[in-house]
Structure 1
Amino acid sequence: MSVARLSNEDNDRESKRSKKGASPILGFSDKDKMGTIQPYDDALVVTLRIRGFDVKRVLVNQGSAVEVMYPDLYKGLNLKPKDLMAYDSLLVSFEGKTVTPRGQIRLPIQTGSDVVEVDFIMVDAYSPYTAIVSRPWLHALGAISSTLHQKVKYLSEGRVEEIVGNQTMARQCMVAVIFCQPNPESSASIRKDL
């Protein structure tokens, strides 16, 4: 997991604020864009410690209301069908298809010294991501995320901590999605023949 500490200058400012009784403020500035590949429109893809393992290719999607686990993570954590609880609702995939989940499981996500337990919905479908974390995780951690700044920020023990996105990994996932899409040309030619 890529967790960055604040610089000494930032730490001094945060320390002075704490002494005055004010808590650190979560936010983003242009300084937070330093180190990102410009220009970009990348998703926020991070590495998180889930159930004691460093899990790469985790999409942070604040537009979603559920955490999703895909087969790579399910198998990688050596989970079995008996580990899953029933989950009765259907989900809609990015492509607009209805997906029937295989079940639900509560797992810990560790960020620094903080541990938040979330309910993952196990979906047996292809994804270049191993998991998607969303609003329930962000809210439980008290975090904010920014695709523009490629970071998740949260407070821990009176300090602002960061999880930095991996743009290279995000781009690899995007390429994988593009190559797994059906060829639009062949679909168009089929429609013309009908």
Structure 2
Amino acid sequence: MLVARLLAEVNDCESKRAKGMASPMLGFSDKDKVGTIQPHDDALVVTLRIGGYDMKRVLVDQGSVVEVMYLDLYKGLKLKPEDLTAYDSPLVSFEGKTITPKGQIRLPIQTGLDIVKVDFIVVDAYSPYTAIIARPWFYALGAVSSTLHPKVKYPSEGRVKEVIGDQAMARQYMVSAISRWPNVEPLTPTENGL
């Protein structure tokens, strides 16, 4: 009887392991480029459901370690200072300025039927984007991104699901960001460290 029970437990573990191994493979191919402008160097900009609202102009940045929410989105969600928790570490804005965050807030990001809660750092700085989604969201969702294919892929319900980037939006907001940059003289080779 003990042997039968042990065999049943082993079979159960193998069954669970096999199910875990059956998760879909995440990857990109040339088919994922169909419908995109190629070649390009556009940022990956998407629309995501944040805090129950569809938010456009969300920058996907797998290189960032924190999710950032800009003040326009914070106000648009009708959040209040008492909704924030303290966050003291300074950040550097797109314009190269050091800024002190207003605080931190935990909000859900919904992708299809999947919901992941992340901590957003709220900042009062100019950005053409409403938010930046970073590694914590990727890791929690099990997602991977490709700026070349402008997509995010993630496993859900045994299938691969996608969030498709908007190249036109990415280009529009990059132009907006560049037009706001102050006119800066180019560095000489000596100043550039060459």
Return the TM-score normalized by structure 2.
0.83
Equivalent residue number for residue 92 of structure 2 = 92
CA RMSD, Structure 1 to Structure 2 (Å):
2.0
Q: CA deviation at 1:24?
A: 1.5
- Matches of 1:79 and 1:69 in 2, distance apart? 12
- Matches of 1:23 and 1:58 in 2, distance apart? 28
- Matches of 1:22 and 1:108 in 2, distance apart? 27
- Measured against aligned partners, the alpha-carbon deviations of 1:154-176 in whole angstroms (never above 9, x if no partner) come to 00010100000000000011001
Q: Which amino acid aligns with 1:25?
A: M
Q: CA deviation at 1:22?
A: 3.1
Identity percentage over the alignment? 75
Moved over 6 A (4+): none
Q: CA deviation at 1:99?
A: 1.1
Return the TM-score normalized by structure 1.
0.83
Q: Which amino acid aligns with 2:167?
A: Q
- Matches of 2:94 and 2:135 in 1, distance apart? 17
Q: Which runs of 5+ in 2 are unaligned?
A: 1-17, 189-194
SS in 1 for 2:169: helix
Equivalent residue number for residue 114 of structure 1 = 114
Q: CA deviation at 1:96?
A: 3.1
Q: Which runs of 5+ in 1 are unaligned?
A: 1-17, 189-194
Equivalent residue number for residue 174 of structure 1 = 174
Q: CA deviation at 1:94?
A: 3.0
After TM superposition, the structure 1 stretch with the greater mean CA deviation from structure 2, 93-102 or 161-170, is 93-102
- Matches of 1:146 and 1:90 in 2, distance apart? 29
Are the aligned partners of 2:108 and 2:118 in contact in 1 as well (CA < 8 Å)?
yes
Higher Rg: 2
- Measured against aligned partners, the alpha-carbon deviations of 1:53-106 in whole angstroms (never above 9, x if no partner) come to 000000000110000000111111011111111001111223432110000000
- Measured against aligned partners, the alpha-carbon deviations of 1:5-50 in whole angstroms (never above 9, x if no partner) come to xxxxxxxxxxxxx99x733100000110111012210000000000
After TM superposition, the structure 1 stretch with the greater mean CA deviation from structure 2, 128-137 or 81-90, is 81-90
Q: Which amino acid aligns with 1:50?
A: I
Q: Which amino acid aligns with 1:127?
A: S
- Matches of 1:90 and 1:23 in 2, distance apart? 39
